[in-house]
Structure 1
Amino acid sequence: METIALPKKIKFIKGDRPNQKQVVIEPCYPGYGTTIGNVLRRVLLSSLPGAAVVGVKFKGADHEFTTLPHIKEDILEITLNLKQLRLKMFTTETVKLELVARGEKEVKASAITKNSQVEIVNPDLTIAHVTDMAGSLEMEIFVAPGKGYVAIESREEEKNEIGYIAIDSIFSPILSVGINIENVRVGKMTNWDKLIISITTDGTITCEDAFAYSTKVLIEQFTALIKSDEPMATEEVMPAAEEPAAPIKALEIKPKKRGRPKKTV
Structure 2
Amino acid sequence: MHFTSETRLDDGVLGRHFTLDGIPGLLWTPPEASASAPVPLILLGHPPLGLRAMHPRLVSRARRSAADGFASATIELPGSGDRPARPALNQAREDLRRAMRAGEPVGDDLVDALVLPLVDAAVPEWRTALDALLSLPDIDGPVGFSGGLISVAVRLAVTDPRITAAVLFAGSLVPRVILEEARQVTVPLHVLLQWDDEGNDREASLALFDAFASPEKSLHAHLGGHSGVPAHAGDAAAEFFARHLRAG
Q: Same fold (TM over 0.5)?
A: no
Q: Name which one, 1 or 2, has greater alpha-carbon Rg.
A: 1
- Calculate the TM-score normalised by the size of structure 1: 0.23
Query: Of Structure 1 and Structure 2, which has the larger fraction of its residues in helix?
Result: 2
Larger strand fraction of residues? 1
TM-score, L = length of structure 2: 0.24
- Which has the higher relative contact order, 1 or 2, with Cα contacts under 8 A spaced 6 or more apart? 1
